[in-house]
Amino acid sequence: MSDVNTGTATDSGSSATLTRLEQEGEIAADYLEGLLDIADLDGDIDMDVEGERASVSIIGDGSARELTKLVGRDGEVLEALQELTRLAVHRETGERSRLMLDIAGFRARKRAELAQLGAEAAAEAKETGEPVKLDPMTPFERKVVHDAVAAAGLRSESEGEEPQRRVVVLPV
């Protein structure tokens, strides 16, 4: 039903950390393979280590249309599956996981859109000299925007309480 591809990138960190993150990826891949089998969905599982976290992607072979059911509206199902996968890893390792899950490229596309949004908000803050408040976002979304704002040479902060927590881009 599904194939597992492992690719590891060593940005930083010790080999013990890399081994632990690879183990998290393996546990997550096994869990997700079982899920795909239960749901009778086809997909390949790709594992990687990005920075200080394991990253697992389910990639559709052919029509990713079926896999989009696992993404849900605005990624809600994807977020829930990520949490369930993290719990499966925690159950096996006894340690909290920061694993990231992507399905059918949804999170990768979202990351690109958010990076663009962060760059545009930074440009607006530079131009107007006024803080730019963005719409409420998930923690993942806020992190991507904060990184894009920092790359543009500005500072940003989060304000508010979940689920209404938002990024505010600060001018120079």
Instruction: Determine the average pLDDT of the residues in 3-25.
Output: 67
| pLDDT range class, residue 62, cuts 50, 70, 90 | low
Edge-first strand order for the sheet with 4-6 is 4-6, 44-50, 53-59, 100-103
What CA–CA distance (Å, rounded) separates 138 from 163?
Answer: 7
pLDDT attached to residue 64: 62
Structure tokens at 153: 């040479």
Global pTM reads 0.78
Q: Which of 152, 28, 164 is nearest to 84 (CA)?
A: 28
- Whether the per-residue pLDDT at 3 is higher than 70: the answer is no
Exposure of 121 in the CB half-sphere (CA atoms within 13 A): 29
What's the angle, vertex CA 96, arms to CA 91 and CA 102, rounded to 5? 90
In this prediction, residue 1 has a pLDDT band, given cuts at 50, 70 and 90, of: very low
Average pLDDT value over all residues in the chain:
89
Instruction: Give me the mean pLDDT over the 117-132 stretch.
Output: 97
Q: What percent of the chain has pLDDT over 70?
A: 90
The candidate with the shortest Cα–Cα distance to 21, out of 65, 51, 64, 60, is 51
